Every structure is written in C-alpha cells, then in structure tokens.
Amino acid sequence: MSFHRALKIVFDRTPEDTIDLFQVFPSLRRFFERRRLHAVIRTFGDLVFTFIILAGLFGPQDPARNCTLYLSWGLWWPTIVLSWFFVGRMWCGFCPFPGIGRIVQKLGLCLHKPIPGFIKRNGPYISVFLLAIIIWLEESTGIKESPRGTALLILSIMAGATLMAVFYPKQAWCRYLCPMGRLLGVGATLSIMEFRPNLEKCRTCKTFACKRGVEGKGGCPVYLGAFNVKNNLDCLICGHCLSLCDKGSPMLNLRSPFKELLLNKGRFVTCSFIIPFLMGSQLVRFLESSNYSLVLKQGLSSLNTMVTYSGLLVIAFFYILTIIKVGAKFFGQTEDELFGKFSPMVPILIPMAFSGELAYRLDYAISGAPEFFPVLGRQFGLDSLLHWTFGLPSWILEVMNISLIASAVAACCYLLYRFVKDEFEEGLIPWWRSLLVACLILITGASYIFFMANM
C-alpha cells in the first residue's frame, strides 16, 4: 500500500478512492476469518468488565479507593469515542454486553421468537431514548462518582442484551436497541474505515450464507449479511461473514472520513435524532463542568438537581435542533429527485458532535490520569503505587478542547463546501446561502468554546 496514496484518501484529496486493507494485509483478513485471536480479545474484554462489575458492587465505595470509575468513564468511554473515527463500529464486534446472551443461546435456551415489527420500526427512537437516560443518569445523579452505580448501569445494559437473547435469535439487542451501538453507528459515519461487499461477486452468490449461515456456523449476528451493508450504521465489523463467504466479497476499506457523510446527506432517522440530542447534551455537560454551573445552581437553588438538568437538556436539544432546522432553510435544498428528503445540517454537524464528545471524555480521562495508580494502590493496599502520580499544567485541557472544536468547525465548513461544490449543480446553492450556513457553524462552535472556557 502506498503511504502517499493512503494519506491522499484520508485527507480527502482523492475522495472516491479506497484501499481494501484485506488485500494489502492478508493477515488482517485471516484474523477475522479464523476468529481465535478475536475470541481471545473478546474474552479479555469480558474479564475486564467482570472485574469492573465486581469491584464496583463489592469494592470500596469511596471514589479515591476504587479504580472502577476511571476504568469505566476515563478509559472505556474515551476509547469508544476514538474508535468512531478510526475503526467505525468495530468495537461492537468485541463488546462484552452480549456475552451472556451468546452463552444462553449456545445452551439452547433461546425461544427463537420472530422480532416484533414494533422493535424493527421504532428501534432508533428506543435506543436514542435509552442513550438519553444514560447521559441523564451520568450527569444528574452523580453516578460517575459511584462505583456501585456505575456497575449497576453496566449490568442494566448487559441485562437488556441478555433478555433479548433469550427471546430472539442472534444479537437483536445490538441491531435494534443498544444505545451504545446506536451512538457508535452514527459516529462511525465519520470513520476512515468501512466494511463493504464487492457487489459484483455477491451477484453470483446463490446461498447468501453470510446472512443465513451454514451448518455449524451461524450467519450475520445482526441479520445483515455482507451483501446488505451499505453504510456504517449497523454493521459490527465482527468478521462472521468472511469465513462464510466463498466468493471473497467482504472488503475492509480505507476511505475519506467525509465520504459517507456526503453520500448519506442526513437521510437516516438515526442521525437526525441522535445528533441534536448528543450535541445538546454535550453543551449541558460542559455547562455542568464549568464555573457557570455554580451561578446557575445558586439561582435555581429551590429546584432539584435532576429537574434542573432535565430542563437544561431539553433547552439545549431544541437549541441544536433549531440550528439544524434554520440551517436547512438557509441551505435551501432539502429534497432530491433520486433519494427524496434529506437534512443537510445533520452530516455537516457530525464532526462537531464527534469532537464535542471526544473533548468531554478526554477531559475526564486526562484530569483523572494522575490519580489512577494511587487509587489502585489504596484499593489493593499497594503502597508503592501511592507515589506513581504526576502533575499536569492547567492549560493542557484548555488547548486540547479549543483545538478539537476549532478542527471540528473547519471540518464542518469543509463539508459545507463539498456539499455546495460537488453534490449539487453549480449555482444551485448561492454563495450567500453558504455564508449563512457557515455563520451557524461558527455560532455552534462558539457555543461549545463558551461553555468549555471555564471548565
């Protein structure tokens, strides 16, 4: 693989070009096909989560004496968010949440009921609602300071996956209801990797084994099959289909991170719902972590913390939703003869949503890193670890946050430019409309920086 060519692809210099990493790195294809190392990594993840749950439930409840909090909120969350950009939804292929469900199904305890149409139709709404509950609990209940609360939250997600595995075959939870998977799917639209079929090879297939499976091997765990993968929203990049396909169709492509955003144009309901909520929640979370929250709490001292946070979340959601709606009006084009209605501001703002989430999670990870080993030492009585700490200059987080948001603003403006230049006929979007949309992008970025400035 030419490194120069790869850079041109990732930096969108050749946006239509891709590189099949399975061809360049045959060992990568064998890794997914043979599944042994894959299973080892997944088992390691299961053991880590088992430790987090047990330590959270039965370990010390003092945050200064329990590493569960940092492992969950300081390592696991930031790693997930970073994975959006680099490997799409691949983390879902190693996720420990469906682990017990897989065991249940191997023991023959699954009822194999058909998945109700209600779940199929309303999965995006239900999963976004569940994500809203998680973020609401995270900020309004102090769960990030409670080892037991964190363990119970993880157990509740695992319980949902297990219950679905009892009633429905394969991983229905992962496909339709998992709030984490829904979030990863939307974030993965910005990924530099995509898992896609070679449709020319798929057209000669008669068995569709990648979806249906063969004797002794189950098909796609989320009911897709390689030939059905058209975007990064649902595919787990788990590799099940590679060993089932005798045509060599599946490809793991290196691509431009803007490719799918431009192609989808905000047509999918998953993105349209989750982006305004995610961005609104980020603004409120930055507000909660800033000095402004002290003034706000003093002014609203008569209100319960949960009520206050809920109200702010609703206001921030509608603030971002208004920007999306007004931006669509400014843009002037919201319908196409080929693919129908679309929402141009949703894909344009996805880099901002990614950067905002990454900034928030990294802020927790970096600020808590100096105390990780001392906390570990106090938890397990290892006095030698109490001195394994270090200091961080106060400006590091500020520079990191501003750099991330500035990069996001640049990426959003670049997407706007690409929309106007490449996706529509020349002159269809007047320059003054583009300028109005760019102003909205700058206002959104300024909103982030305003609340970040005093974290």
pLDDT in tens, 212-250: 988 878 899 999 999 999 999 999 998 889 989 989 999
Q: How far apart, in whole angstroms, are the C-alpha atoms of residue 285 and residue 294?
A: 13
Those residues with Cβ within 8 angstroms of residue 327's Cβ, 6 or more apart along the chain or in another chain: 344, 345, 348, 437, 440
pLDDT tens sequence across 409-437: 999 999 999 989 888 877 788 999 999 99
**Can you give the pLDDT at residue 294?**
60
Those residues with Cβ within 8 angstroms of residue 278's Cβ, 6 or more apart along the chain or in another chain: 131, 183, 186, 353, 356, 357
**Can you give the pLDDT at residue 193?**
96
**Can you give the pLDDT at residue 304?**
65
**Can you give the pLDDT at residue 198?**
94
Rounded to the nearest integer, the mean pLDDT of the chain is 90
pLDDT tens sequence across 149-182: 999 999 999 999 999 999 999 999 999 999 999 9
* Number of helices and strands in the chain (H, E): 23, 7
**Can you give the pLDDT at residue 319?**
95
Q: How many residues does the chain have?
A: 455
Mean local confidence (pLDDT), 374-389:
94
Q: How far apart, in whole angstroms, are the C-alpha atoms of residue 119 and residue 160?
A: 13
Q: Which amino acid, one-letter code, is at 19?
A: I
Q: How far apart, in whole angstroms, are the C-alpha atoms of residue 148 and residue 435?
A: 50
46-60, 255-269, 280-294: lowest mean pLDDT where? 280-294
Q: Which of 158, 169, 153 is nearest to 68 (CA)?
A: 153
Those residues with Cβ within 8 angstroms of residue 82's Cβ, 6 or more apart along the chain or in another chain: 358
Helix, strand, coil % in the chain, rounded to nearest 5: 70, 5, 25
Q: Which amino acid, one-letter code, is at 270?
A: T
Report field, pTM of the whole predicted structure over 0.75: yes
**Can you give the pLDDT at residue 451?**
85
DSSP state of 252: E
Q: How far apart, in whole angstroms, are the C-alpha atoms of residue 384 and residue 387?
A: 7
> Is pLDDT above 90 for 392?
no
pLDDT tens sequence across 276-297: 999 999 999 898 877 666 666 6
Backbone angles phi, psi at 14, to 5 degrees: -130, 75
